Amino acid sequence: MLSRVSNFLRTSVVHTKINGQINTELTRRIVNEFSRIKFSTPKLIAVSINTSQGSYGQAEELSKAIHSFAHKFDCPVYTFAEDIAAGPGYYLLASGNRVFADSFSLIGGISTNSKTLDLIKFSKNTGVKYNLESVGKNKVRIHPFQELKDDDKKWMQMLLEEKLKLIKNSILEKRGHKIPRDQEKETLALGGDVFLGSKAVELGLVDSINCFRGIVTKEYDESRIINLPRRNTFGGGVKNLTSGIDIRSEKIVEVIDEIPDKILANRHSFNSYINNF
């Protein structure tokens, strides 16, 4: 029985979902969840993405973190678009070793923008004034209580264009071999529009139409799925860690990964023992 448990622990697919804002909190949570994987050696890291919101910088950080764990586990990263993977969501999607979308997924939205607030009329109507003392010629730009200066417009446009160039270059580095070497199609693919799944495949933004369950069933049918983040179903106490365990269910993986680090000090010896049992 223990040999079956050992094999069970080594054949797994780690699956996480990215929803809402891609920000520092999300990156921290995902990194913490992956750091808790101790016994399991995944065959695959799967990332399902359903967002168009957040920071490109954090999307890059999250991508690097996920691929760092993939390198540690010596396994590929597959990414899956759900309803939408646009903007920072697509940036993360494009980082997969293989990239999938649903037929109804909205893909792309590769663009940058800046939002400003004009409070000049409000200030005149209410008499509210905003005073700011600063040192430095360009310390204050795009002031909401002042007319937007031409120099500030040019400065912001320059930043947006430089940022977009970085984003496009990164995507071309990851997907350039799939995006058609046709100026018109490349411009279309990277022009800020979103596309349904089949068009995204045609433009090389994704590899094919499929979903997480479809790929796992076809290629990793014998593997157990570890969904991150996992719910703590053990009441937080060590005494409850082994209660109600079903060897046939994936909950044993959750149990093992809940064991404190100190208890796992000799986990390699434990693996050797159960392999020879």
Encode burial over 129-168: b for 16+ CB neighbours within 10 A, e otherwise: eeeeeeeeeeeeeeeebeeeeeebeeebeeeeeebbeebb
pTM: 0.73
User: Which residues are CB-contacts of 143 (< 8 A; sequence separation ≥ 6)?
Assistant: 130, 132
- Distance separating alpha carbons of residues 193 and 253, to the nearest angstrom: 42
CATH for 2-114+166-275, options being 3.30.980.10, 3.40.50.2020, 3.10.510.20, 3.90.226.10: 3.90.226.10
> 13-52 pLDDT, tens per residue?
999 999 999 999 999 999 999 998 876 789 999 999 999 9
How much is the mean pLDDT over the chain? 79
> 129-160 pLDDT, tens per residue?
766 666 656 666 666 666 777 777 787 888 88
Q: Give me 245's structure tokens.
A: 């365990």
pLDDT of 45: 96
CA atoms within 13 A on the CB side of 118: 4
Domain locations in the chain? 2-114+166-275
pLDDT of 144: 65
Distances (CA, A) of 64 to 26, 57, 131: 14, 11, 42
% of the chain exceeding 90 in pLDDT: 49
Q: Is the pLDDT of residue 176 over 50?
A: yes
Confidence of residue 65 (pLDDT cuts 50, 70, 90): very high
- Top pLDDT among 21 and 268 is at 21
Count of C-beta atoms within a 10 Å radius of residue 174: 18
- Distance separating alpha carbons of residues 66 and 34, to the nearest angstrom: 8
**Identity of the highest mean pLDDT range in 121-125, 153-157, 193-197, 241-245:** 193-197
**Cα–Cα nearest to 31, from 253, 228, 233:** 228
DSSP-assigned states of every residue in 14-42: EEEEEES-BSHHHHHHHHHHHHT--S--E
